[in-house]
Chains A and B, each alone.
Chain A
Amino acid sequence: MPKRTDIKKILIIGSGPIIISQACEFDYSGTQACKALREEGYKVILINSNPATIMTDPETADRTYIEPITPEAVEKIIEKERPDALLPTLGGQTGLNTAMKVVENGVLDKYGVIMIGANYNAIKKAEDRDYFKKSMLKIGLDLPKSALVKSLKQAREKLKTIGLPVIIRPSFTLGGTGGGIAQSIEEFEQIIALGLRNSMVHEVLIEQSIVGWKEYELEVMRDKKDNVVIVCSIENFDPMGIHTGDSITVAPAQTLTDKEYQKMRDASLAIIREIGVETGGSNIQFALNPEDGRMVVIEMNPRVSRSSALASKATGFPIAKIAAKLAVGYTLDEIKNDITKLTPASFEPAIDYCVVKIPRFTFEKFPEATDILGISMKSVGEIMAIGRTFKEALQKGLRGLEIGHTGLDNKLDYSKISDDKIKHRLKEPNASRIFYIKYAFQKGYSVKEIFELTKIDPWFLSQIKEIIDLENDLIKLSKKNSKKFPLNKEMLLKAKQYGFSDRQLAEYTGSDEVSIRALRKRNGIEATFKLVDTCAAEFEAYTPYYYSTYESEDETRVSKKKKIMILGGGPNRIGQGIEFDYCCCHAAFALKELGYETIMVNSNPETVSTDYDTSDKLYFEPLTFEDVMNIVDKEKPDGVIVQFGGQTPLNLAKQLEDAGVPIIGTSVKSIDIAENRDKFSKLVKKLNIHQPMNGSANTVEEARIIAKQIGYPVLIRPSYVLGGRAMKIVYEENTLNEFVEEAKIVSMEQPILIDKFLEDAVEVDVDAISDGKVTIIGGIMEHIEEAGVHSGDSACVLPPHTLEDKIIEDIKQCTYSLSRELKVKGLVNIQFAIKNDIVYVLEVNPRASRTVPFVSKATGRPLAKIAAKVMVGKTLKELGITKEIEVKHVSVKESVLPFSRFSGVDIILGPEMKSTGEVMGIDSTFGIAFYKSQIAAGQILPKSGTVFISVRNYDKRDIVFIAKKLSDMKFDIIATRGTAKVLIANNIEAKIVSKISDGSSDILDKIKKGEIKLVINVPSGSKGQYDMMPIRSFAVMQGIPCITTIQGAQAAVTGMEASLKSDFKVKPIQDYLKKIA
């Protein structure tokens, strides 16, 4: 069936900022969809508030609206653009929920827009728990016992028939927010209450607990002729009870016979038909009782998902791209398989390797939160590893996670861990359980015992045991053998096939990574690369998508072209995410334009960079020295780019260069000068640039002396880390110790940096490009929050809205001279602080920064692309980049924080970055741009109601002005005693409310009842923070906007004022950029 000709313009809703459970996989799917639809001649209208995406590049869609993803904004876009159709299934849960709202609001009917892919009823049937359950029963499928309730009373009633333990899931939420497993009545009541609040429709599902059952997922695709295929089966290593996003998962399913698999396949076909997803992909989850094989349906996502991105990368079958084509009327047999070219997409991929996905957690960022896993997702990223066997893939994945493991190694001495602790860590799912399984085996636990504690399938446990058994053999053997030849060829090969890294082998043999590598090569043991080809080699594959293993045949096809290798950023984490992947993709696009062959190396399955379409060659590999060198040995690239993938590739730069790898762009030496405190201070002095007083220390004692010299408060941080890991402002000597210790651990043998902390300074970020001679500033961003809040967590505005011309000129000059002196070739990011009209340089990062995509969107100048071209030798002049861009519109970047995921965690911003993503607001004025950014970030600034204010003494003067404006806007104000007093004294009406520390829960009650619409709480320095913490956490959990800085409050009030004057308008990025050009 040919494509539909009755539709011409299609609206796609993106997924917005990166949050836990909704990450760059939706940029991957959305970008694929935009490309696929435009290829077919459709006009694509896009809304997405996330500037760090490839999909919001002005070239990706025809009309790109970087606007808050709300039903109101979508309506405005529809009114303006008049699309024929809305494709709701590519923007994650956000896209789906927003699409549902616009249907319910009658907007689609009003403008005659049809839904393609999945219609309203199908989505409703899949998403509405009760409706879904009825549908499943209708087609004869089994489900856990369950009931849907709308109140606590009803919940208690239903519990009588279901019985504890139960799983509680709120309807219409994402990643299981607010859900949980209740073992006791107390837990039950608590989770129900929270769940009801979190649910968009005030409804939760109580479900019989099937914790410990085996969990599976099938990725299903359907076309409008009702052809259905299963793209991939996924088996969860961790059994039911842990969110799949937090589980280690394996593809394909490992422990199902064909009979059981086909039963699941039949069920999936029946489900997608019954739910009525007309075209596209769906994800269906099943649980299986390991004792008797009883199979129950858990849930279905009628859209592309994190799992579908994983399945696409795991099989080579591009689900989102094909889903888009199916949505416009093609059928699976009309679409060619990109990889084999000759065979159609109407088949089921066969894979001849094993894929393991491992989640990446960042509990270290939230020390108050426990690393216990449950049905609400907590991980911020993931790694996918491919090997010929599970053992190989698992170890590759673990070493690529970048959490300090070299494989399935020992971070702790197992003999020192008590049995109680082992049992506890095995029984209660947690972020490091995989390693505790190892410790348990080492302590002599049997597969059966570990199975009893974890319910992880004995097959997986036995595989892990095989790894440990071989490790024991390797240690024994190398003790017996000479230092020079610790392992024979046979054992060495076996170890590599089991996925052991050179570093692990070095440890067993008392050698080092480089020597093991040499030993390996002398024995002819080198990585072989195999293709991911969708068909287990049945047909020839044309797409060079590789993974490494140790086999007899290597399949790389090395060309004679000039080639550049780009090292990606690995798994997403706080501080290093989609922004860097964006830059890597741009490098690939730019160098392709110049005729280079581009080689991408990355291990993150969510990304656009690991789409086999992005670069000429894709190596899906961990980013370690060993794995990168294996590829370098084969491909012998003319240049390797380490600047774009964040800290991950930068950390490898020195070692790679020492091994003779041609690193292009800013030299490793310059990178070192920028990172090395002493060298950098010398440079700054030489250039007559101001820098806060500083020093570096190796011991606590040294730190104490330096801090004293500089004077408190000081900012301490480890070197060579991103995202402000372990960075702290220290106000007094007695808290110094603890923080220095922590920084030391993170710093790994590098000195700790100590800076004078500039209080109340304005922080400024600059992104610039230099070709070694000329430097052009890409954008200057003024932070909303004061210096001291990590730049990744701070909102910022471009162009600066409060800085004088002279200051801006100073900033520019500093940027030019620093870039020149560091011989920057490519991107550079510099952070400045301005205090008393003096410009201080805080740090220089000669690499891509988190703000590069934002600046590129705000100015229309693709910084990363230009930088990539500069790195291969083009001058800025040759590229036509001679002037800095002056923009007339205002762009605001706001960060999005994951606090609602970690109950009990304080939401105060500090020098350690905590945000997971960002949004952008654009408008002609600062007020509206800021307002848009807040809405987009989920901070729904109110238009009326009551505001609660409590600020530290220091800010009492500034709050008067803010409160006055709120009062003028007819808001009611309640405040704590001290704050209220100041307000009343300034003729602002304010009611007094008692502090919690005074023993009153008045304010919490008011928040609970929804009486408070906005919280402004600026706590004082180090101690006072804890006083108001319950209020802040509570507000965040309730979804009430909570502002914790005075500058943030000022900006918010400006935004609220602007929004009250006139409702915001929407405008595509292409129109903004037209004005610049």
Chain B
Amino acid sequence: MKSILILEDGKKFLGESFGASGETSGEVVFNTSHTGYQEILTDPSYKGQIVTMTYPHIGNYGVNLEDIESRKPFIEGFIVKEYSKIYSNWRAKKSLGDYLKENKIVGIEGIDTRALVKHIREKGSMKGFISTVDFNEKSLLKKVKSADSIVGKDLVKEVTNHKIYKFQTQNKSGKNVVVMDFGVKTNILRSLSSVGLNSIVVPANTSFEKIIGLKPSGIMLSNGPGDPEAVTYAIETVKKLISTHIPIFGICLGHQILGLAMGGKTYKLKFGHHGSNQPIKNLKTERVQIAAENHNFAVNLKTLKNAVPTHKNLNDGTLEGIRYQRVPVFSVQFHPEASPGPHDSRYLFIEFLDMVLKFHNSTIAKSKSMLRNGNPMPTLKLRQAGAKRSRFLSGREGGKKYAKKN
């Protein structure tokens, strides 16, 4: 089936449909990863975006049941040079095309993706529109222009899971971390779990009080889609959370929201960073880690007080990580959880664990001293709640749903 992609500035590309038929719009971005299309499709951060893969053969290894990052794909559309009709991998269960159709995602192939990428690189990312039904240029142009922009739009509310759920670690003495779900990738939860931390995943609009009520030893601000400034409610919540001195670790959108909560400003990059090969320098160790990135907005370091830059992108100097002074709070713009991408930055989860343990121990010390002083032991609501854990939210999530007590 014929399909057409048109950009906001009128540039158009003809191709063939390989996913769902119909129409879609979104901001067109490109991702330079050779592998990991399944993770990319299911990364909620791509809400509002149409992703172009720069590697020309996509679909080669099909789709399996394990490599998914959220409950469903949130991506608006998928652009490739050549979709592989057959797939080959021992874990594969179905073809990429079938997967896209099932999830009603429009895919277009046969595109000179390199020309498209160069166009975006030169002009900046812009809105695009894909259609398998309408080939009238005028009408398409009208549609693409009237499509929503990701700037100023709260996309988080469209991807956050509205239920609280828990992702348990094997470690019985594992501490609990509240994960604010701005569109969390499951591998963040897996990564926390791998260092022995339990995740209690809460919707993005969960109130400060509710979060504190969960008695977390740490807070993870997850990745997510779109413009951080639009997520005002979360910025407010995070401001309050910072003052509790509970350790906070922000990733990607979480990093940006944290920056805003700290009084800083964010700005939009020309075409963002989307790929698995970004050179990130750790300014403390002076070593370079190769990291996956997926963001269009960035934090402006100059607008922040009490912030020490910890990581920098060596390609363009973008700020990639911050440690805040006087509070146990740090964040990174890139994805230490990878998936897709290299595992070079896993150490950040261990650093977070150390902060969580330190906090936990000091809290216990504090409560012990309070106990000695005759004050009652604070109730750990979490433990009580744990008894009422329900079944898996979904097999693919790998995590457990946590039914809230109240």
Report Cα–Cα, A528/B76, bound state, in Å.
Answer: 30
The reply on A553 being an interface residue by CB < 8 A is yes
The reply on A992 being an interface residue by CB < 8 A is no
Tell me the B74-91 residues at the A interface (CB within 8 Å): 81-82, 84-91
A349 to chain B minimum Cβ distance, whole angstroms, is 7
Contact check, B288 vs A333: say whether CB atoms are below 8 A apart.
Answer: yes
Q: Is the interface of A mostly helix, strand, loop or mixed?
A: loop
Report Cα–Cα, A536/B66, bound state, in Å.
Answer: 28
Contact check, A462 vs B287: say whether CB atoms are below 8 A apart.
Answer: no
Interface-located stretch among B318-326, B340-348, B377-385: B340-348
A257-B91, A258-B67 known; A553 vs B57 contact (CB < 8 Å) = no
Interface-located stretch among A222-230, A611-619, A726-734, A762-770: A222-230
The reply on B17 being an interface residue by CB < 8 A is no
A61 to chain B minimum Cβ distance, whole angstroms, is 31
Contact check, A258 vs B36: say whether CB atoms are below 8 A apart.
Answer: yes
Report Cα–Cα, A457/B57, bound state, in Å.
Answer: 15
**B66, B278, B288 — which one has the most chain A CB atoms within 10 A of its CB?**
B288
Contact check, A257 vs B117: say whether CB atoms are below 8 A apart.
Answer: no
Tell me the A313-335 residues at the B interface (CB within 8 Å): 331-333
The reply on B290 being an interface residue by CB < 8 A is yes
**B30, B118, B277, B316 — which one has the most chain A CB atoms within 10 A of its CB?**
B277
B63 to chain A minimum Cβ distance, whole angstroms, is 10
A262-B338, A262-B343 known; A252 vs B55 contact (CB < 8 Å) = yes
Interface-located stretch among B107-115, B138-146, B202-210: B107-115
- Give A266's nearest chain B residue, CB to CB: B343
Contact check, A257 vs B33: say whether CB atoms are below 8 A apart.
Answer: no
**B34, B87, B112, B290 — which one has the most chain A CB atoms within 10 A of its CB?**
B34
The reply on B339 being an interface residue by CB < 8 A is yes
Contact check, B35 vs A258: say whether CB atoms are below 8 A apart.
Answer: yes
B119 to chain A minimum Cβ distance, whole angstroms, is 9
**A225, A253, A344, A352 — which one has the most chain B CB atoms within 10 A of its CB?**
A352
A256-B35, A346-B314, A537-B118 known; A265 vs B88 contact (CB < 8 Å) = no
The reply on A343 being an interface residue by CB < 8 A is yes
The proximity string for B residues 327-362 relative to A, scoring 1 for CB distances below 8 Å and 0 otherwise, is 000000000001111110000000000000000000
Contact check, B81 vs A389: say whether CB atoms are below 8 A apart.
Answer: yes
- Give A458's nearest chain B residue, CB to CB: B88
- Give B117's nearest chain A residue, CB to CB: A537
Report Cα–Cα, A253/B276, bound state, in Å.
Answer: 15
Q: Is the interface of B mostly helix, strand, loop or mixed?
A: loop
A289 to chain B minimum Cβ distance, whole angstroms, is 8
The reply on A1029 being an interface residue by CB < 8 A is no
Taking CB atoms, residues of chain A closer than 8 Å to B86 are 447, 458-459, 462
- Give A540's nearest chain B residue, CB to CB: B121
The reply on B275 being an interface residue by CB < 8 A is yes
Report Cα–Cα, A462/B288, bound state, in Å.
Answer: 40
Tell me the A548-568 residues at the B interface (CB within 8 Å): 551-553, 555
Taking CB atoms, residues of chain B closer than 8 Å to A536 are 30, 32, 54-55, 114, 117, 275
B129 to chain A minimum Cβ distance, whole angstroms, is 18
Taking CB atoms, residues of chain A closer than 8 Å to B341 are 258, 262
The reply on A350 being an interface residue by CB < 8 A is yes
- Give B339's nearest chain A residue, CB to CB: A258
The proximity string for A residues 237-266 relative to B, scoring 1 for CB distances below 8 Å and 0 otherwise, is 000000000000000111111110110011
The reply on A293 being an interface residue by CB < 8 A is yes
Contact check, A537 vs B114: say whether CB atoms are below 8 A apart.
Answer: yes
Report Cα–Cα, A279/B259, bound state, in Å.
Answer: 38
Contact check, A291 vs B90: say whether CB atoms are below 8 A apart.
Answer: yes
The proximity string for B residues 264-286 relative to A, scoring 1 for CB distances below 8 Å and 0 otherwise, is 00000000000111110100001
Report Cα–Cα, A537/B343, bound state, in Å.
Answer: 24
The reply on B39 being an interface residue by CB < 8 A is yes
Contact check, B117 vs A538: say whether CB atoms are below 8 A apart.
Answer: yes
Contact check, B81 vs A348: say whether CB atoms are below 8 A apart.
Answer: no
Report Cα–Cα, A466/B83, bound state, in Å.
Answer: 13
Q: How large is the interface on B (under 10, 10 to 19, 20 to 34, 35 or more residues)?
A: 35 or more
Q: How large is the interface on A (under 10, 10 to 19, 20 to 34, 35 or more residues)?
A: 35 or more
Contact check, B33 vs A258: say whether CB atoms are below 8 A apart.
Answer: yes
The reply on B60 being an interface residue by CB < 8 A is yes
Contact check, B34 vs A227: say whether CB atoms are below 8 A apart.
Answer: no
A257-B38, A332-B288, A354-B56 known; A388 vs B81 contact (CB < 8 Å) = yes
Report Cα–Cα, A539/B30, bound state, in Å.
Answer: 12
Contact check, B89 vs A257: say whether CB atoms are below 8 A apart.
Answer: yes
Contact check, B121 vs A537: say whether CB atoms are below 8 A apart.
Answer: yes
Contact check, A255 vs B276: say whether CB atoms are below 8 A apart.
Answer: no
A348-B276, A459-B86 known; A257 vs B64 contact (CB < 8 Å) = yes
A350-B275, A458-B88, A553-B112 known; A258 vs B55 contact (CB < 8 Å) = no
The reply on A530 being an interface residue by CB < 8 A is yes
Tell me the A273-320 residues at the B interface (CB within 8 Å): 290-293
The reply on A353 being an interface residue by CB < 8 A is yes
Report Cα–Cα, A352/B88, bound state, in Å.
Answer: 21
Contact check, B36 vs A292: say whether CB atoms are below 8 A apart.
Answer: no
Taking CB atoms, residues of chain B closer than 8 Å to A530 are 114
Taking CB atoms, residues of chain A closer than 8 Å to B343 are 262, 265-266
Taking CB atoms, residues of chain B closer than 8 Å to A265 are 342-343
Task: Please pick, from B33, B60, B288, B316, the residue contacting A254 in the complex, using a CB distance under 8 A.
Answer: B60
**A233, A350, A353, A536 — which one has the most chain B CB atoms within 10 A of its CB?**
A536
Tell me the A513-546 residues at the B interface (CB within 8 Å): 530, 535-540
The reply on B297 being an interface residue by CB < 8 A is no
Report Cα–Cα, A351/B287, bound state, in Å.
Answer: 25
B89 to chain A minimum Cβ distance, whole angstroms, is 6
Report Cα–Cα, A389/B339, bound state, in Å.
Answer: 25
The reply on B61 being an interface residue by CB < 8 A is yes
The reply on B315 being an interface residue by CB < 8 A is yes
Contact check, A344 vs B314: say whether CB atoms are below 8 A apart.
Answer: yes
Taking CB atoms, residues of chain A closer than 8 Å to B34 are 233, 252-253, 261, 350-351
Contact check, A459 vs B118: say whether CB atoms are below 8 A apart.
Answer: no
A277 to chain B minimum Cβ distance, whole angstroms, is 17
A258-B39, A537-B117 known; A349 vs B277 contact (CB < 8 Å) = yes
Task: Please pick, from B55, B56, B64, B115, the residue contacting A552 in the complex, using a CB distance under 8 A.
Answer: B115
The reply on A390 being an interface residue by CB < 8 A is yes
Report Cα–Cα, A466/B76, bound state, in Å.
Answer: 30
Report Cα–Cα, A346/B35, bound state, in Å.
Answer: 20
Report Cα–Cα, A256/B55, bound state, in Å.
Answer: 13
The reply on B13 being an interface residue by CB < 8 A is yes
Contact check, A257 vs B290: say whether CB atoms are below 8 A apart.
Answer: no
The reply on A739 being an interface residue by CB < 8 A is no
- Give B278's nearest chain A residue, CB to CB: A347
Taking CB atoms, residues of chain B closer than 8 Å to A262 are 338, 340-343
Contact check, B113 vs A227: say whether CB atoms are below 8 A apart.
Answer: no
Taking CB atoms, residues of chain A closer than 8 Å to B338 are 262
Report Cα–Cα, A1000/B101, bound state, in Å.
Answer: 76
Taking CB atoms, residues of chain A closer than 8 Å to B33 are 258, 350
**A256, A333, A347, A349 — which one has the most chain B CB atoms within 10 A of its CB?**
A347
Tell me the A112-142 residues at the B interface (CB within 8 Å): none
B167 to chain A minimum Cβ distance, whole angstroms, is 19
- Give B39's nearest chain A residue, CB to CB: A258
Report Cα–Cα, A347/B33, bound state, in Å.
Answer: 13
Taking CB atoms, residues of chain B closer than 8 Å to A553 are 112, 114-115, 118
Q: Assuming A258-B67, A352-B56, A459-B60, what are 6 further A-B pairs, CB within 8 angstroms?
A: A347-B277, A347-B278, A459-B84, A466-B85, A552-B112, A553-B118
The 8 A-B residue pairs with the shortest CB-CB distance in the complex, in nearest-first order:
A258-B36, A553-B115, A536-B54, A258-B340, A350-B32, A459-B88, A348-B277, A258-B35
23 contacts between A and B (CB under 8 A): A226-B287, A230-B290, A233-B34, A254-B57, A257-B36, A257-B89, A258-B35, A259-B67, A262-B342, A342-B316, A347-B314, A347-B315, A352-B113, A352-B114, A388-B82, A388-B114, A459-B84, A462-B86, A536-B32, A537-B114, A538-B30, A538-B32, A553-B118
A residues lining the B interface (CB < 8 Å): 225-227, 229-230, 233, 252-259, 261-262, 265-266, 290-293, 331-333, 342-344, 346-354, 388-390, 447, 457-459, 462, 466, 530, 535-540, 551-553, 555
